[in-house]
């Protein structure tokens, strides 16, 4: 949980000069968050990274990226989080994703079972949920 938060904290400080606040674990079951995307992870370590956020966070990301809509900025942000996560957890090539593989999804698309790591984060009072499932 702390490592997921540290990665998001580093990205938000670099992108917008904004700090984050760890809220703990995300709520169980579906929460009302407008943006949701998954990034499949392949290689020796397979899994799925799922991020969910409010529309307000999408708009904040869009303002940092100079893009028009929050939905347009959210998928690249998910890829960026995944890239930083993989490079901090595994040796190069052990776990990979392909940019552009971040895709919108819903809770019915989540992997079965509990995530291996998860956290809820506030970024300028806007919620972000991060969940990571790994295949063993």
Q: Going by C-beta distance under 8 Å and a sequence separation of 6 or more, which residues neighbour residue 48?
A: 38, 39, 40, 41, 110, 111, 132, 133
- Specify the CATH superfamily of domain 2-134: CheC-like (3.40.1550.10)
Confidence of residue 29 (pLDDT cuts 50, 70, 90): low
pLDDT tens per residue across span 71-99: 788 988 898 898 888 888 877 777 787 76
**So where are the chain's domains?**
2-134
Taking the C-alpha atoms of residue 84 and residue 56, their distance in angstroms, rounded to an integer, is 23
**Pair type for strands 20-24 and 103-104:** unpaired
Confidence of residue 23 (pLDDT cuts 50, 70, 90): very high
pLDDT tens per residue across span 31-44: 789 999 999 988 88
pLDDT tens per residue across span 103-134: 888 878 889 999 999 999 999 999 999 999 99
């Amino acid at each position: 949980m702390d490592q997921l938060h540290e990665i998001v904290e580093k990205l938000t400080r670099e992108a917008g000069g904004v700090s984050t606040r760890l809220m703990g674990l995300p709520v169980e079951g579906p929460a009302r968050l407008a943006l949701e995307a998954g990034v499949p992870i392949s290689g020796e370590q397979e899994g799925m990274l799922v991020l969910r956020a409010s529309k307000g966070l999408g708009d904040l990301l869009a303002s940092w990226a100079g893009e028009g809509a929050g939905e347009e900025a959210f998928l690249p942000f998910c890829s960026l989080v995944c890239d930083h996560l993989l490079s901090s957890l595994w040796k190069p090539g052990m776990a990979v994703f392909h940019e552009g593989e971040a895709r919108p999804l819903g809770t019915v698309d989540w992997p079965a079972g509990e995530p291996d790591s998860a956290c809820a984060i506030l970024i300028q009072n806007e919620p972000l949920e991060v969940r990571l499932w790994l295949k063993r």
